[in-house]
Amino acid sequence: MKAYQHKVQYYETDKMGITHHSNYIRWMEEARVDFLSQIGWDYARLEEEGIISPVLNVNCDYKKTTTFSDVVTISVCVQEFKGVKLHLLYEMKNQEGQVVCCGTSSHAFLDTDGRPIRLKQEKPQFYERLNELANQ
């Protein structure tokens, strides 16, 4: 899986020139969308299949600061998947390869009426792909 790269923009920094903490969560979402595309289930496909995936939980552990024009590489992997909830793990590194942030997010899968989807029965291809990644 190819890591996602994000170049820190000027507007993402605070008065001290340091990236505001809220942006790391945005980058996690960017990386998650990229991850889904890489596994063949981009958001357009999910929506066509009638799947929505709300965020249930997000957590960040900040290690080092980043500043304007730094390139942050974000690796995403499946931490846990049991068919109903997907737990992702994110590791963000600066250009020197130092970890700047670690995070997790949890997601559910719902139909367009907001009811939980049993992926194994209703979307077996998607279920198998996520299950495969969870067992790597």
Instruction: Kindly list the catalytic residues.
Output: 14
As a whole number of angstroms, the longest Cα–Cα distance in the chain is 51
For the chain, strand residue ranges (E) read 4-7, 55-62, 71-81, 85-93, 99-108
> Six-digit token pair at 52?
């929505």
State residue 68 phi and psi, 5-degree precision. Answer: -50, 135
Please state, in angstroms and rounded to a whole number, the distance separating the CA atoms of residues 123 and 13. Answer: 41
Asked whether the beta carbons of 107 and 128 are under 8 A apart, the reply is no
